[in-house]
Amino acid sequence: MSDLLQMLDMPFFRRALAAAALIGFTNGFVSGFVLLRRSSLTLSALSHTLLPGIVVVVLITGVLNQAGAFTGALLASLIVGIASITVTRYTRLPQSTAIAIFYTAAVALGVILIPYAHTSQNLEQWLFGTIQTMGDTDLKVFFGIACFTLMSSTLFMRPLLLTLFEPNVAAVQGVNVRRMNYLLYTLMIFALMASFQAVGPILSIGLLVAPGAIISLFTNNTKWLFWGGGIIGCVAAVLAVIISIPLNIPTGPAIVLVLGTLFLLAYISVTSRKFHSNTSS
Amino acid sequence: MKHLIILQEGAEMSNCKHVHTEGQTHQLLVNNLEVAYRTDTVLKDINLSAHCGSSLALVGPNGAGKSTLLKSVAGLIKPKKGEITWAGEDNMKCRGGEFAYLPQNEKVNWDFPITVQGVVEMGRYSQLGAWGKFTKKDDLAIQRALDLMEMNGELAQRQISELSGGQKQRAFIARAIAQEAHVLLLDEPFTGLDREHTANLSRLLRKLTKESRLVIASHHDINTLTDTFDQILLLNRIVIAMGECRDTLTEENLNLTFKNTSHV
């Protein structure tokens, strides 16, 4: 406990905790949308395309910084996303198939290009998160993303839910389904970008899926899916920072591991409860 | 009897733009409609008119274009040719209260973490908008819809994935009723219902037409058509015949509808 209090005196630790809380909450909140939209696999594919995006930026600019990595990652995911939508529109292939082809090709390109990406920074650190090196500007960006996520979700929660449940019925009820889909994509991409810095592109999907999946085991209330997911994401990320820094283990993988453990415990709790109620009745 | 009393108490269409005055009817007009998915023409030369206070059954084989016609009327599909108007207004402008649409069961995300009551409450969102609060009137409309479809009590609090096929169908019909829309577009509403609930729904649709609503539904069971619907439209990509059930359900028309797989 005294070690923890001592660490709280260190600015980098306080920043890491604040970033973990903000990113964890945002991702946890948005994970409700990912779950309802059943788009975990698509987002997983997009998160992997962040890798080649970063590598290409390093090749072009010769440096690796936050703005460059963010731009490269965003462009790569947009290219793969748009390419898959285009293929789906003009062929009979489902989007999941098209996206699988494009994202694996993009990752393959990234792997081939990694040896040529000479930079003074540690590429591995970027691949698994840089939460311990957060600056004040990073925190402001995450705070902005968290505010945008909460405000837009709260304002448009009803049309978003109608769209996610059955888009045709939503459209007949007067919802602009296309705009709601754009908003959903924006929320998911922003959350992915935030988690990308916390846990890295390879593991970011874990933070964007697990909180909602955990809370969905316990509730039939859609409102709780979002707020509960946010709380779980926030607590898990903060806990991982507190555990990982003193133990000197990478924080990004620690966040995903804490969430994986929580999911396992939740699953055991729910299934054992069902088992007991079945045997007693 | 319970159904009749409840419906009379709740017979309102306050959310609709085209409010009724006594003796006035609103008309749905479909003129020279043609719908195609890429190069495949699914509907061609469709002309029909139907007015509120009546019910119309769409009958035809699989792939005849029944669902496509319902979706086109609902404004979900942009036609290649032709126009659809409701009360003189383009149907695309009538979304958000005038129409209620029931999709086929398999199109719905049944894993959604929501109870039956939650689904029926969604029917009120078009009246409430994005931020409006539920009022007593909304609660009454929801309760009435649940009562009508016998989805009240414990069933109302059940997670939708735990429902049987027929119960899922009833939950969604309850949602459409809670919407209190002027035009009900129902894609195979009788699918999955047992005999008792089929008879109940048939009675309910009759009552809804008496409340000056227009009910259009795709339907498969020719034996129960005349008990439920005023008019029938025999469809197989083109209109084979349309009119009063007794006049239209001839052997010749049925042969034309079901024996020829494509008329386009």
Are A169 and B125 in contact (CB < 8 Å)?
no
Q: What are phi and psi of B218, to 5 degrees?
A: -80, 145
Instruction: Collect all residues of chain B within an 8 Å Cβ-Cβ radius of residue A223.
Output: none
ipTM (interface predicted TM): 0.84
DSSP code at position B13: -
Please state, in angstroms and rounded to a whole number, the distance separating the CA atoms of residues B256 and A7. Answer: 83
Point out the residue among A165, A220, A225 whose CB comes nearest to the CB of B109: A165
B97: nearest CA partner in chain A: A173
Higher pLDDT, A115 or A1: A115
The pLDDT of residue B8 is 38
Question: For the residues B18-41, what does the mean pLDDT come to?
Answer: 79
Has residue B31 got a pLDDT over 80?
A: yes
Determine which of A193-207, B43-57, B90-104, B218-232 has the lowest per-residue pLDDT on average: A193-207
User: What CATH number does residue B234 fall under?
Assistant: 3.40.50.300
In the structure encoding, which two tokens stand for residue A187, read together? Answer: 């929320």
In the structure encoding, which two tokens stand for residue A69, read together? Answer: 């990595």
Determine which of A9-13, A62-66, B114-118 has the lowest per-residue pLDDT on average: A62-66
Closest CA to A126 of A22, A197, A76: A197
The band of B21, judged by pLDDT with boundaries at 50, 70 and 90, is low
- Does residue B108 fall inside a structural domain? no
Are A173 and B179 in contact (CB < 8 Å)?
yes
- Does residue B237 fall inside a structural domain? yes
Q: Which stretches within A173-221 are classed as H helix? A: 177-216
Strands B81-86 and B27-37: antiparallel
Residue B99 in contact with partner chain A when CB distance is under 8 A: yes
The band of B194, judged by pLDDT with boundaries at 50, 70 and 90, is confident
Place of tokens 């945002």: A26
Question: For the residues B216-227, what does the mean pLDDT come to?
Answer: 86
Has residue B7 got a pLDDT over 50?
A: no
Residue B82 in contact with partner chain A when CB distance is under 8 A: no
Instruction: Collect all residues of chain B within an 8 Å Cβ-Cβ radius of residue A274.
Output: none
- Domain hosting B68: range is 27-95+218-264
Determine which of A174-178, A272-276, B42-46, B99-103 has the lowest per-residue pLDDT on average: A272-276
CB contacts < 8 A (A, B)? 75
Point out the residue among B100, B107, B185 whose CB comes nearest to the CB of A166: B107
Point out the residue among B100, B129, B159 whose CB comes nearest to the CB of A220: B159
Using alpha carbons, list the distances in angstroms from residue B76 to A183, A235, B16, B57: 20, 43, 19, 19
The pLDDT of residue A1 is 62
Provide the terminal-to-terminal Cα distance of chain A, rounded to the nearest Å: 46
The pLDDT of residue B143 is 94
Question: For the residues A45-68, what does the mean pLDDT come to?
Answer: 80
Point out the residue among A155, A174, A222 whose CB comes nearest to the CB of B114: A222
pLDDT tens figures, B40-49: 889 999 999 9
Alpha carbon A99 to its chain centroid, in Å, reads 18
pLDDT tens figures, A231-242: 999 999 999 999
The band of B137, judged by pLDDT with boundaries at 50, 70 and 90, is very high
The pLDDT of residue B263 is 45
DSSP per residue, B22-82 = TT---EEEEEEEEEEETTEEEEEEEEEEEETT-EEEEE--TTSSHHHHHHHHHT-S--SEE
- Does residue B8 fall inside a structural domain? no
Q: Where is mean pLDDT largest: A22-36, A130-144, B192-206? A: A22-36
DSSP per residue, A108-165 = HHHHHHGGG---SS-HHHHHT--GGG--HHHHHHHHHHHHHHHHHHHHTHHHHHHHHH
Q: What are phi and psi of A22, to 5 degrees?
A: -65, -50
- Does residue B132 fall inside a structural domain? no
Are A222 and B126 in contact (CB < 8 Å)?
no
Please state, in angstroms and rounded to a whole number, the distance separating the CA atoms of residues A5 and A35. Answer: 37
Point out the residue among B71, B76, B122 whose CB comes nearest to the CB of A165: B122
Task: Report all structural domains of chain A as residue ranges with CATH numbers, in order of start.
Answer: 2-266 (1.10.3470.10)
DSSP code at position B11: -
Place of tokens 């840089």: A130
Instruction: Collect all residues of chain A within an 8 Å Cβ-Cβ radius of residue B78.
Output: none
**Which of A172, A217, A219, A220 is best to mutate for the B interface (most B CBs within 10 A)?**
A172
Please state, in angstroms and rounded to a whole number, the distance separating the CA atoms of residues A60 and A73. Answer: 14
Three-state DSSP class for residue B100:
strand
Please state, in angstroms and rounded to a whole number, the distance separating the CA atoms of residues B29 and B48. Answer: 6
- Does residue B177 fall inside a structural domain? no
Q: Judged by CB atoms within 8 Å, which residues 177-216 of B form the interface with A?
A: 179, 185
Q: What are phi and psi of B83, to 5 degrees?
A: -145, 155
Residue A57 in contact with partner chain B when CB distance is under 8 A: no
The band of B67, judged by pLDDT with boundaries at 50, 70 and 90, is very high
Point out the residue among A166, A219, A225 whose CB comes nearest to the CB of B103: A166
Has residue A176 got a pLDDT over 60?
A: yes
Please state, in angstroms and rounded to a whole number, the distance separating the CA atoms of residues A207 and A239. Answer: 14
DSSP per residue, B179-204 = TT-SEEEESSTTTT--HHHHHHHHHH
- Does residue B160 fall inside a structural domain? no
The pLDDT of residue B84 is 94
CA atoms within 13 A on the CB side of A101: 10
Strands B81-86 and B214-218: unpaired
| Residues in CB range of A277: below 8 A, 6 or more apart | none
pLDDT tens figures, A244-273: 888 888 888 899 999 999 999 999 999 888
Number of domains in chain B: 1
- Does residue B242 fall inside a structural domain? yes
Closest CA to A189 of A30, A83, A65: A30
The pLDDT of residue A82 is 85
Question: For the residues B8-34, what does the mean pLDDT come to?
Answer: 65
Residue A165 in contact with partner chain B when CB distance is under 8 A: yes
Strands B99-102 and B27-37: unpaired
Give B115→chain A minimum CA distance, Å: 7
Q: Judged by CB atoms within 8 Å, which residues 205-224 of A form the interface with B?
A: 216, 219-222
Percent over 90 (pLDDT), chain B: 41
Residue A166 in contact with partner chain B when CB distance is under 8 A: yes
- Starting from the edge strand earliest in sequence, which strands make up the sheet with B27-37, in order? B40-51, B27-37, B81-86, B89-90
Place of tokens 């929660």: A157
**Mean pLDDT across chain A, nearest whole number?**
85
**Mean pLDDT across chain B, nearest whole number?**
84
Please state, in angstroms and rounded to a whole number, the distance separating the CA atoms of residues B16 and A220. Answer: 32
- Rg over alpha carbons for chain B, rounded to the nearest Å, is 18
The band of A96, judged by pLDDT with boundaries at 50, 70 and 90, is confident
pLDDT tens figures, A65-88: 767 777 887 788 888 888 888 888
**Which of B71, B95, B98 is best to mutate for the A interface (most A CBs within 10 A)?**
B95
The pLDDT of residue A43 is 76
The pLDDT of residue A52 is 86
Please state, in angstroms and rounded to a whole number, the distance separating the CA atoms of residues B223 and A246. Answer: 76
pLDDT tens figures, B171-190: 988 998 999 888 999 999 88
Are B125 and A173 in contact (CB < 8 Å)?
yes
Higher pLDDT, A196 or B219: B219
